[in-house]
Amino acid sequence: MADDDVTANVEDAGGADKKASGGSPLLTLLVLLNTVMMGAVAWFQYQSHLAESTKPTLQDIVKAEMEKATEGSPDDSGEAREEDGALFPLETFTANLAQGDGPRRFVRLNAVLKFSKSSSEEEFKARKPQIRDAIIRTLNSKRPEELLKVEGKNYLKEEIKAAINAFMVDGHVIDVFYVGFQIN
């Protein structure tokens, strides 16, 4: 009788091992489904990253516009030539700069825009709010360290020209002149 109890206990223990090692088919299905879903999410993120990396950056656009402007010049002597145009002064801008590690900084800018001869003063006056908005958005994206260097100020001019020329119809901005430039 004692031998029967021991044999029954051994059989129960073996059966428990068989149940534990076999696992639930539902659990296996859920793990498989989870793995497939994680793979799908990873694939979509990879595709999104590829699509994002093919978009041109603002620097690429500005560089292309600068190259296009220099290619279109009939004078191939390599020297810069002065193009006539109309000067339109802007009121003083005060804009916050992008937050850096230090205290909050702002820039005060007074500029004059030089438009091509084909530009009309009426279009300039009508688009003045758009022009101011484009300049303020550009200034808000800059850090003080970028604007303290001469290269940063020159690059800012090119960005401002590209931003304004994007919505001008009759003419385009030839140059931007800083009348006042102060960073606090």
Domain boundaries, the chain: 2-54, 61-183
Residues 6 or more apart whose CB falls under 8 angstroms from that of 107 comprise 93, 94, 95, 97, 139, 142, 144, 147, 181, 182, 183, 184
As given in the structure block, the two tokens for residue 8 are 């029954």
Q: Check residue 128 and give left, alpha or beta (phi > 0: left; psi -120 to 50: alpha).
A: alpha
Q: Looking at residue 46, what is its pLDDT?
A: 94
Q: Looking at residue 158, what is its pLDDT?
A: 92
Question: Which secondary structure element, helix H or strand E, spans residue 92, and what is its range?
Answer: none
As given in the structure block, the two tokens for residue 74 are 């009939």
- Extract the residue ranges of the chain whose pLDDT is less than 70: 1-22, 72-83, 100
- The pTM for the full model equals 0.54
Residues 61-183, CATH architecture: 2-Layer Sandwich (3.30)
Q: Looking at residue 72, what is its pLDDT?
A: 57
